Structure 1
């Protein structure tokens, strides 16, 4: 298992990171990566809502879930 750790990200960093990662996955047809975890101490329900809206508007992912536990935001897809 390989993972990347990037602590204490701001909301815009999450959006940029997620967009960049998903676009690269789609470009390379890599289906091994199916979840990401972001450490965001300031994350709240509004952050999750905005992230959901961004993913939907940009059509980045389909069949995804976003969850929030303490300082972490989890994004998973099939």
Structure 2
């Protein structure tokens, strides 16, 4: 049943108000293989670096998925956090061709 739904599903944009665990993203990526944009308003108490690393690792493992844009809200976002995220992405080679920007409390990440 799950496989049938994922093959016929045409959802490309997903907005989550709350996320309680990274498992939700993994299921969404499998359920919506055509999803290219994911926005998460609240990642609760998850560590930002771990959250981003897990999503990008899921992305790298599944070459058939279309996810290439991510937006998530960090209420106490500052320049240091942005720098830390960029350094992590570069150091761990999670993405090669990407842009990351901050707009208020939101992080927008786009890659090819």
TM-score, normalization by structure 2:
0.60
Aligned to 1:14: 48
Uncovered stretches (5+) of structure 1, i.e. residues with no partner: none
Runs of 4+ aligned residues of structure 1 deviating over 4 Å after TM superposition are none
Uncovered stretches (5+) of structure 2, i.e. residues with no partner: 1-11, 17-39
How far apart, in 1, do the equivalents of 2:85 and 2:44 lie?
A: 13
What's the RMSD between the two structures over aligned residues?
1.9
> Of the two, which has the highest radius of gyration?
2
Deviates more, 1:34-43 or 1:1-10: 1-10
Which of 35, 53, 56 is matched with 2:90 structurally? 56
Higher strand proportion:
2
* TM-aligned CA deviation for residue 71 of structure 1: 1.0
Which of 38, 54, 60 is matched with 1:26 structurally? 60
Which of 26, 35, 41 is matched with 2:69 structurally? 35
